[in-house]
Amino acid sequence: MSRKPILHYFNGRGRMECIRWLLAAAGVEFEEKLIEKPEDLNKLKNDGSLLFQQVPMVEIDGMNLVQTRAILNYIATKYNLYGKDIKERALIDMYSEGVADLGEMIMLLPLCPAAEKDAKVTFIREKTTNRFLPAFENVLKSHGQDYLVGNKLSRADIHLVELLYYVEELDPSLLANFPLLKALKARVSNLPAVKKFLQPGSQRKPPTDERQIEARKIFKF
């Protein structure tokens, strides 16, 4: 029996949350070893587990995988969430990168200085409604299928739905003019594995708060 993947990160979303989402959507149970103090991170560095001296890191199939995209690519390939051929993979990568661009803005928002926060939120709202969400809505509209690529669930759909939850946390009204995206969110959210992950008590992490911002300081050591 294969061992469950073990995720090494702090107790927050950060760059691990998309990995948690992808594993959960694939129906894969995983364990977490939370980094709670500098010594926890230093131990991983000193025992050679972190190739580039940084997390996230996932122990899976006898490997210590680092770098978020590499981890996501491996999981998506292993669990058949990466398209049927090179063209579908190119589309999945393209859409996933678009998700990552907007997701990065939202992820870093809690770290924004208070004096700059209103301007940053306005900027993110504008990019959300005028650039990113229209692009994904148009993809779904162009082929009329249930999922972004090949009419089959892929990592791109999972990443996008995760992002849509964050957009709603920022401002629920931002999704109002995107019916196909709302339908995709409902469709993916009702898949049994995802539905389970969305329930209270799962390994899904809550929005970043002051405590988690303090925890991030560990990574400066």
pTM of the model: 0.94
pLDDT for res 111: 87
Residues near 2 by beta carbon (within 8 Å), at least 6 away in sequence: 61
Residue 141 above 80 pLDDT? yes
pLDDT for res 41: 94
Name the percent of the chain lying above pLDDT 90.
88
Asked whether 219 and 54 are in contact (CB, 8 A), the reply is yes
Q: pLDDT-derived band of residue 2, with 50, 70 and 90 as boundaries?
A: low
Sign of the Cα pseudo-torsion (128, 130, 131, 135, in order): positive
Residues of the chain by 3-state class (helix, strand, coil), percent to 5: 60, 5, 35
The radius of gyration computed from the CA coordinates of the chain, to the nearest angstrom, equals 18
| Spatial distance between the Cα atoms of 15 and 194, rounded to a whole number of angstroms | 19
Asked whether 194 and 15 are in contact (CB, 8 A), the reply is no
Q: Please provide the average confidence, as pLDDT, over all residues in the chain.
A: 94
8-state DSSP, 15: T
Buried b (16+ CB within 10 A) or exposed e, 144-171: eeebbbbeebbbbbbbbbbbbebbeebe
Structure tokens at 75: 């999981």
Structure tokens at 71: 């981890």
Q: How wide is the angle at C-alpha 106 spanned by C-alphas 129 and 120, nearest 5°?
A: 75
pLDDT for res 13: 93
Q: pLDDT-derived band of residue 1, with 50, 70 and 90 as boundaries?
A: very low
